[in-house]
A = this chain, B = another copy of it.
């Protein structure tokens, strides 16, 4: 079983299936720094093109988990559940569904990420609340989950270090876009949280990593299969990311939207629609799925009813305030942007498309995300969307409002962002936001 690195690479290159112990050792040795990057990157490229079998995928996830710490919750009577989203524009559901599920009595040890590429990240959103601390030590994290049912932290050094090392290498070697590597990376971290249930929000469309429903459904299948291999209860929702979720994209702006939803505010757009409706509904549906995995409410409908009750009664908001207090965040000082600029509709007609990936990168340019890891985020930067797909619009009315602390960036982005929206003389067909529920 002792294979040389070049033998391992060549087997994968030739499309062979590696024995599980070989693959596990290979990844563990890399995590320990015993395999040079140039060998691992050749291997990763072979995986991109040849794929993993489901046994290999399982072994690779096992190795990444074993490279670090797995959380244990020995005296935990409550069902432990988390959610993972593959990321999009305006995707802020964690801040709503986390408090709902925790207030309903389950435990939510939420380990989240930062903005990546054109998409935002939960940690960056929370850190727009002055003082909010996401770097908890694992014991404090577990203590808060015991006490409040929920805590939000970032991925720590202790959890899946081999995955983090592999991810950094993939990022610079053109080997990010492999469904096997993506699903292994996502699931290893979630499984290491020691949860029992996981709800996946797998997005597709112009703002998602995978553009088509089919690809995203395949990713969902892989993620679920890994979860099942590790004995987890998993449900996946495949959701539409061809238009922004909710009204705002940008860190503090999204927190404002979440607070409005948690406190029952309704914000209507020029079509007199509730412009928070999609954020609110998706959050409730995801929360209901999380709750239903516990079995406590009997069925999904009952779980959904309870989720709505917890939200509407203000219990979820109270939980959110508790979390902020426990993690040092001062909601009264949540910043508002200094500058804004309206981008107008340029054509009479219907809105037929958003190039959300381009819009996401322009939002990064406004200051809402990072180009390099060392970049500092402008928490107030972001975009307000006044319209949804299919809206009838007239030239000159507001399409978006851009926000930022830096006026120069505002002007630069204002010149480009209008071109990311397309118009037509007919309304496009309507699709539901949740396209598929897989369990």
Contact = CB atoms under 8 A, between A and B. Distances in A.
Most chain B CB within 10 A, of A5, A49, A171, A173, is at A173
Interface string A157-195: 000000000000101111101000000000000000000
B13 A169 contact: no
A239 to B, nearest CB: 26
A174 B38 contact: no
A42 interface: yes
A6 B46 contact: no
A261 to B, nearest CB: 38
Q: How many copies does the complex hold?
A: 2
A43 B173 CA distance: 8
A145 interface: no
A182 to B, nearest CB: 14
Contact of A38 (B7, B13, B169): B169
A104 B324 CA distance: 91
Interface string A1-45: 000011111100100000000000000000000001111111111
Q: Range of interface residues on chain A?
A: 20 to 34
A437 B49 CA distance: 36
Contacts of A173: 6, 9, 38-39, 42
A26 to B, nearest CB: 12
B46 A13 contact: no
Contacts of A42: 41-42, 44-45, 173-175
A114 interface: no
A60 to B, nearest CB: 17
A221 interface: no
Contacts of A44: 42
Closest 5 CB pairs of A and B: A9-B174, A45-B45, A37-B38, A42-B173, A10-B174
Given A38-B41, A42-B173, 7 more contacts: A6-B174, A7-B174, A8-B174, A13-B48, A38-B172, A41-B42, A45-B45
23 contacts: A5-B174, A6-B171, A6-B172, A7-B174, A9-B173, A9-B174, A9-B175, A10-B174, A10-B177, A36-B38, A37-B38, A38-B38, A38-B40, A38-B169, A38-B172, A38-B173, A39-B41, A39-B172, A39-B173, A39-B174, A42-B175, A45-B49, A46-B174
